[in-house]
Amino acid sequence: MNAYWIVNATIETGFNHDSRVTETCTETAHLKIEHETITEVTSTYPAQSDLPVIDAEGALLLPAFREMHIHIDKTYYSGPWKAVEPAVDGIFTRIEEEQTILKEQLPVAEERAKKMIELLLQNGHTHIRTHCNIDPVTGIENLKATVHALKAYEAYLAYEIVAFPQHGLLRSNAESLVRQAMENGATHVGGVDPATVDRDINRSLETMFAIAQDYQKNIDIHLHDPDSLGAFEMEQITDLVKKNGYEGRVTISHALALGDLNEKRLQQLGGMLSDAKIDVTTTVPINRPTIPIPALWEAGIPVSVGHDSITDHWSPFGTGNTMDKLATLGERFGISDEVGLNQLLKYATGGVTPLSADGKQQWPTPGDTASFMLVDAVCSAEAIARRKSILAVFGKGKRFVMEE
């Protein structure tokens, strides 16, 4: 359908106050969708319209999620169950495993990636940033499989692909492969732990920025290094951002060191990240100190959540359920009031929330991309806190329905 109406949707309009916010106010709305855009939001459905109609039956309309850190190219998902082997040598255990796992999985990489995409779509995601292995084991073959998989769903999805030298940009001599990836569908240059994996912070980071500059691509780097080491690497990244004019073009994934620093050091580094317009993605880990997500946001550092994996040789615990992840974030930081829960949505939508923190209505509006979901909840706060079910997902104006 190029044009249609969604009628009887519930949208949020403000907060009800009684010395404090006590509840979210809502009303019934009807939305006209044309092609990929919301073109009208009204409380009165036009009686003379001859366009097709989808009845939301009172379901809550929320903006679609953005999955900002996932690896769809190497997964056990949709295959046989397999638990994780102990990582006796940390990340290097996983890198060693990949010498055989990647070759074994390559014949099913595209099929399994498609299953991951379908799971993410069902869970409300209409934007996916996936990291994709670029390594000497399979070259850019995983990238080819990933591009094919994503293109199969581009009617619903926006997507980004990070060329990720998992085995080390320098350690595995992957620069030429990453450059090939830039010419074969990758949208971002990736990297991993310049100190512990590449063993040369400056050369690793400078090589990554050089590739990005040559191809005019953005950067998304995995940074697991903790404490002062990770903080030093982030300082080096901010220096290179300013040197190369890359403000607003760099993401640090995980940024685990931010969970290890004292308040004074965190404020100092946070100021540097904010000045460089660097954003951060996190899985909201609970097996180590969690990065201070709300404090980072308040300091002007955008933070997005991601699932990293669903089930693979790194972890078997992924679900793709971002409503659940936001609830975990709320629990972790003691956010349980109406406004606080309402605003958690921003960590999964690129900052888009139906209401601002002071209750001003700001979504949906005519001109917005028609990517949204219908949820079995009375408001955003309930949807997140009670991990409510997603009833329907629309990406680029099209309803996603699983094929039988």
**Together in a domain, 135 and 269:** yes
Position 404 scores a pLDDT of 60
pTM as predicted: 0.97
Boundaries of domain holding 201: 65-317
Q: Check residue 198 and report its DSSP letter.
A: T
Q: How far is CA 275 from the centre of its chain?
A: 22
- State how many domains the chain has: 2
**Together in a domain, 72 and 161:** yes
CA-to-CA distance for 15 and 337, rounded, in angstroms? 12
Give the tens place of pLDDT for each residue, 56-70. Answer: 999 999 999 999 999
The answer to whether residue 150 is domain-embedded is yes
- 192: part of which helix (H) or strand (E)? strand 188-192
**Together in a domain, 71 and 56:** no
Position 306 scores a pLDDT of 98
The answer to whether residue 345 is domain-embedded is no
CB 138 within 8 A of CB 164: no
Inter-CA distances, 374 with 6, 7, 113, 327, 343, Å? 10, 12, 25, 18, 18
Tokens at residue 383, please?
Answer: 């949807």
For the sheet containing 279-282, what is the strand order? Answer: 65-70, 125-133, 158-164, 188-192, 218-222, 250-253, 279-282, 303-305
CA-to-CA distance for 267 and 279, rounded, in angstroms? 15
**Together in a domain, 40 and 146:** no
Give the SS3 label for residue 254: coil
The answer to whether residue 215 is domain-embedded is yes
Residue numbers in the chain where pLDDT is lower than 50:
none
**Together in a domain, 60 and 75:** no
The answer to whether residue 57 is domain-embedded is yes
CB 375 within 8 A of CB 367: no
* CATH code of residue 184: 3.20.20.140
**Together in a domain, 257 and 154:** yes
Tokens at residue 146, please?
Answer: 């990933």
Position 33 scores a pLDDT of 98
